[in-house]
A and B are shown apart, each in its own frame.
Chain A
Amino acid sequence: MSCIGYSQATQDSTKIYKKRVLETVEVDIISSFYAQDGDNAAVTGGIGTEKLTDLATSITISIPLNDNDVFTLDGTISAYSSASSSNTNPFGGDDDDDEGNYSANAISFGSPWIVSSGASKSDVWFNGDIGYSHSSDDRNSVAGANISFAKEYDYTSFGLGGSFAKLFNEKNTEISAKANVYIDSWQPIYPVELKTYLERNQNLNAGFFNGINIYNQNGVAIDKNGTTVWSPLKLSLIDTKSRNTYSLSLGFSQILSKRAQFSVFLDLVQQNGWLANPMQRVYFTDRANYYIGNPISIPNYTSSSNKDVFQLADDIERMPQTRFKVPVGLRFNYYINELVTIRTYYRYYYDDWGITSHTASIELPVKISDKFTLYPTYRYYIQTAADYFAPYEQLFSTDEFYTSDYDLSKFDANQFGFGISYTDIFTKGKIWKLGLKNVDLKYSSYKRNTGLSAGIISAGVKFVME
């Protein structure tokens, strides 16, 4: 029995026993259901429903090629439905307006507070990752490489990475380095009124503007052929579709005692390209407001009771085309006794957009039997606002960069979670040739002081091939 998991090599007359890096094929299946709601949708300029649901599943298969090498395949699919992104086109019909077949009768008058029927209300994100790792015979060095591909409706990503880890001091100390490059590109979706305006040569009587009244702040229909009309701030949208990320992650981990160990991670991340989201609107305080829909609802525009009037965008959000990020993370775990372990994490984050943040979390796994562990968790997060953030109608058109995305605002968030895990190292439970090794189930509730609330249920199952 003790020979299981060991391979035998013969070198001259000396027999060397070497533990395999991975004993057998392992299959990890992870699924989650996420739901959120809030009143600060970025697509509608910082107000409006943020209702969103997402169902995601990933399958990871790790295959030992020999004693030292492991090949990993990972596939992830994530399908979301979002009220906010549906309002890329709040007027119904074809998101792209490529056919030019809008008519007054076809348009439904939306608002930031209701879900539009536009195609962008849902999307699927797919990610595939192939990895390979090689461990040295003494198991003190591990080198790895991976390639990845990700695709969603308006975004494509190619990734390439390499890593190296070195253990020494009787495997009490580990240093590691990992480098990744992501060559990404937008296939941008724009707010439909901006896209139509530019495609129709600034003609307010073409596309879905044809036959539709545009109202000013007082609810009076403007003369669309006059001089005081709605027009976006800029006559160009994005000027590059690329969005590249280069990251270097350095790690150090150390065993402190028979019961304590910690690790430190330092990431250096440089991003270049179009780093703003092309579908997110902004509204300036120093420009006149114009609406499509029911003019009676204009005074209640920012109230969720507004169901039938929509404000035409002043512009899309615009951000610098570079961003440098430096997160530093620290983990410390302590084995208190056979029942309780304490797991802690802290992260400090800085970037040159003006965001600094602190993240602290604690997890207390409590073993209630030899197979079951309960683990309550708590996470606190606080960040400063990006230099370019201001709420709805508080941005200035004279600024170079601007956003009303509340993910970049000043806020703090509390997250409470509770999980249960089942582990059977002997894998007695069987499905076909797969032995059940671990099941993990967790629910977390997340609340931000800006009003956004979210919940996520995660489930993970690990099988090993018999």
Chain B
Amino acid sequence: MIKKLSLLVLIGSLTSCVAVKEYEKVYLNDPDMILASKNAHKFETSFQVYREGSAGANGGKSGGGCGCN
């Protein structure tokens, strides 16, 4: 799994040789393209942390702050 992700990162880095200019980012700047879960889903993520054995790797908390996980 780690190898596959590393490969993906490598591919991404190579692709980055052709940079998208600021004025070409109109689609990327769409609110639905944000690389994070929506703010309004904060408590949905919280209940998943409580009810499941795993947490983290979503840009938010990965433990601590509650006796939950």
Q: In A146-160, which residues have CB < 8 Å from any B CB?
A: 148, 150, 152, 154-155, 157, 159
| A155 with B66, Cβ < 8 A, contacts A333-B33, A349-B54, A458-B41 known | yes
- Residue contact A184 to B64, C-beta cutoff 8 Å: yes
A28 is contacted by which of B2, B21, B36, B39 (Cβ under 8 Å)? B39
| A170 with B27, Cβ < 8 A, contacts A159-B65, A256-B15 known | no
- Residue contact A182 to B65, C-beta cutoff 8 Å: yes
Q: A408 to chain B: which residues have CB within 8 Å?
A: 53
Once A and B bind, how many residue pairs between them come within 8 Å at the CB atom? Answer: 223
A200 at the interface (CB under 8 A from B): no
- Residue contact B51 to A347, C-beta cutoff 8 Å: no
- Residue contact B44 to A32, C-beta cutoff 8 Å: yes
- Residue contact B66 to A349, C-beta cutoff 8 Å: no
Q: B2 to chain A: which residues have CB within 8 Å?
A: 328
Nearest-Cβ distance from residue B43 to partner chain A, whole angstroms: 4
Q: A355 to chain B: which residues have CB within 8 Å?
A: 53-54
A249 to B38, CA, bound (A): 19
Q: B12 to chain A: which residues have CB within 8 Å?
A: 252, 254, 256, 262
- Residue contact B57 to A261, C-beta cutoff 8 Å: no
- Residue contact A330 to B54, C-beta cutoff 8 Å: no
- Residue contact B35 to A263, C-beta cutoff 8 Å: yes
- Residue contact B58 to A407, C-beta cutoff 8 Å: no
- Residue contact A264 to B33, C-beta cutoff 8 Å: no
A184 to B67, CA, bound (A): 9
Nearest-Cβ distance from residue B1 to partner chain A, whole angstroms: 5
A369 to B40, CA, bound (A): 21
- Residue contact B28 to A186, C-beta cutoff 8 Å: no
Q: Which of A7-15, A266-274, A304-312 contacts B (4 or more CB under 8 A)?
A: A266-274
A184 is contacted by which of B38, B42, B53, B65 (Cβ under 8 Å)? B65
Chain B: number of interface residues, binned into ranges: 35 or more
- Residue contact A253 to B35, C-beta cutoff 8 Å: yes
Nearest-Cβ distance from residue A106 to partner chain B, whole angstroms: 30
Q: A154 to chain B: which residues have CB within 8 Å?
A: 67
A264 to B4, CA, bound (A): 12
| A357 with B8, Cβ < 8 A, contacts A265-B59, A328-B2 known | no
- Residue contact A267 to B57, C-beta cutoff 8 Å: yes
A386 at the interface (CB under 8 A from B): yes
- Residue contact A444 to B44, C-beta cutoff 8 Å: yes
- Residue contact A152 to B39, C-beta cutoff 8 Å: no
- Residue contact B32 to A373, C-beta cutoff 8 Å: yes
A446 to B40, CA, bound (A): 17
A458 is contacted by which of B8, B16, B33, B40 (Cβ under 8 Å)? B40
Nearest-Cβ distance from residue B16 to partner chain A, whole angstroms: 5
A23 to B43, CA, bound (A): 27
Nearest-Cβ distance from residue A441 to partner chain B, whole angstroms: 8
Nearest-Cβ distance from residue B64 to partner chain A, whole angstroms: 3
A245 is contacted by which of B33, B39, B51, B64 (Cβ under 8 Å)? B64
- Residue contact B28 to A258, C-beta cutoff 8 Å: yes
Residues of B participating in the A interface, judged by any CB pair closer than 8 Å:
1-2, 5, 8-9, 12-13, 15-16, 19-22, 24-25, 27-28, 30-44, 46-48, 50-59, 61-67
